[in-house]
Each structure stands twice: as C-alpha cells, then as structure tokens.
Amino acid sequence: MNTAQEHYDQHLGAIYSWMAGDADVALDRNRSFFRLLLLDSALRGLAVDLGCGTGFQSIPLAERGFSVLAVDSCAMLLSELRQRANSQRIQTIHDDLLNFARHISSPAQLVTCMGDTLTHLESLDAVQILIAKVCRQLVEGGMLVLTFRDYVSVELRGQERFIPVRSDDTRILTCFLEYQKDFVEVHDLLHQRSGAQWTLTTSSYRKLRLDKNWLIKLLSESGWAIIRDTFEGGMVSLVAKKIVSA
C-alpha cells in the first residue's frame, strides 16, 4: 500500500485531468460556489489552496482578485496548473500541505482544502494539527473551506464497493474500497489499451474515515463559527469563519 503522495506520483497523477472529466465544468462549479460565499464583498488578499491539484479552486480564486498560494505534493498536477493558469496570480508550491505555513509571510484571508484532500492526511491528529496551523495563519474573520467524501455514515458492502470512475475507448478506471475501523483502503484499477492489447496497473492507498460531526466539534472548540454545512453527492462541504485568535 502506498502513501497518498506515492499513489499520485506513480499512478493517478498522469491521468488526473482525464479522471476528473471536463475541466471547464469543474472550474464553473467552483466559480459559482465561491460566488455564493460573497467573496466579492470581502477583502481580497492571500488565499491558500491546500491540495490544489490542477487548479479547480486556485484559478477561480485568482479570477476573483485573490493572490493564490497553491500547494500540492504532486509535481505533475502543479505543472498542469501552471499551464492552465497562464498569467493569473498563482504561486505553486510543491510540498506537503502540512508545511504550507513555511511558504507565506503574511496572514491569509481564505484557506481552502477541497476535493477529497483532507482524507489524505494520515490521522485525525494530523487533521487537528492542520486546523490549528490554518487558524494561526488566517486573519480574524478569515474563512476556511473544507470538502471531503463521507466514508463514515454509509459503509458500502459486496459489489457496491466496486465503483466505476471513468472510461473511454482506451482507458477504464475502477475504484474498489475496503473498509477498516479508521480508514478506507482505496484500490484504483486502471486498464489502458495500446492497439489491441489491454494492460492493467493497480495501486492502493488509505483515506481517513473522517466524521463530519467530529470535525465540526473540533472547529467549534478551536475558535471557528460554522457558516455553511451541506452534503451533496457523497461530499461534505463545510465553511468556517475564524472568530477568535488561536
């Protein structure tokens, strides 16, 4: 079993954009999401995008006037982000997201950790450490946006654990889940065709089974006000505002 970084470096990074589908759709979805947060009425300074991938959050934030620090541990994804961003004010950082504070010199107005990035952390202790670091680096009234997949409320069983992700004439990506107490082991099975020959490559890594109620309690006890709490398509979405210094 690989770490999340190894899994992306060796397996998913090269096909991430294909796996994610239409980039314009993803960008427009986040443009609409950030518009709902009324970011146009806020002071637009530094935004930090943790686990930025190929820029589905970073680019809409830069378009709204933020100076974006985009952090990811996968160099291939950051390279795609730079190509897609053109002249947008986005600085890419190749590092573990827990190290983001090393790369900023002034407080941020906004921090995002979206997609399913948060579950890539190795433990709940690591989640607590990240939240504490974010709180220290945000201005008073700054916002934290978190999205992650719910692996807690429903545990898939039997054949339900085989999930078709995407396919076309030359690729088929299927995900298989194995549930443990604190983690779900994710197996990504990639079939690729070259001519008439199909080849299979596989890789697996662990994701945290992160309980939304535990996270809300952690945020509330750490000086945050929850201003948005939604669930759609298996994804939890939380927006919190910093109300006291940590």
**Do 98 and 19 lie in a common domain?**
yes
**Do 78 and 183 lie in a common domain?**
no
Task: Quote the tokens at residue 196.
Answer: 């008439």
**Do 169 and 85 lie in a common domain?**
no
Q: What is the pLDDT of residues 170-192, one digit of tens each?
A: 999 999 999 999 999 999 999 99
**Do 176 and 227 lie in a common domain?**
no
**Do 61 and 166 lie in a common domain?**
no
The CATH number of the domain holding residue 198 is 2.20.25
CA 228 – CA 156 distance, rounded (Å):
27
Predicted TM-score (pTM) of the model is 0.93
**Do 51 and 163 lie in a common domain?**
no
Q: What is the pLDDT of residues 146-166, one digit of tens each?
A: 999 999 999 999 999 999 999
CA 96 – CA 233 distance, rounded (Å):
28
Q: What is the pLDDT of residues 45-58, one digit of tens each?
A: 999 999 999 999 99
CA 53 – CA 42 distance, rounded (Å):
25
Domain that holds residue 74: 4-151+209-242
Q: Measured in Å, how far apart are the chain's first and last C-alpha atoms?
A: 36
Number of domains in the chain: 2
> If DSSP codes are grouped into helix, strand and coil, which group holds residue 238?
strand
What is the pLDDT confidence band of residue 1, given thresholds at 50, 70 and 90? confident
pLDDT on residue 40: 59
pLDDT over threshold 70, residue 41: no
**Do 71 and 173 lie in a common domain?**
no
User: Residue 174: in which H helix or E strand, if any?
Assistant: strand 171-179
**Do 74 and 167 lie in a common domain?**
no
**Do 146 and 51 lie in a common domain?**
yes
The CATH number of the domain holding residue 51 is 3.40.50.150
**Do 222 and 125 lie in a common domain?**
yes
What is the pLDDT confidence band of residue 246, given thresholds at 50, 70 and 90? very low
**Do 199 and 214 lie in a common domain?**
no
**Do 67 and 143 lie in a common domain?**
yes
pLDDT on residue 39: 66
> If DSSP codes are grouped into helix, strand and coil, which group holds residue 141?
strand
Mean pLDDT score of the chain: 93
Q: What is the pLDDT of residues 217-231, one digit of tens each?
A: 999 999 899 999 999
List, in order, residues 6 or more apart from 57 with CB less than 8 Å away: 30, 49, 112, 114
Q: What is the pLDDT of residues 8-33, one digit of tens each?
A: 999 999 999 999 888 899 999 999 99
List, in order, residues 6 or more apart from 204 with CB less than 8 Å away: 1, 2, 7, 185, 186, 187, 188
CA 62 – CA 229 distance, rounded (Å):
24
Q: What is the pLDDT of residues 52-85, one digit of tens each?
A: 999 999 999 999 999 999 999 999 999 999 999 8
Q: How many CB atoms lie within 10 A of CB 219?
A: 20
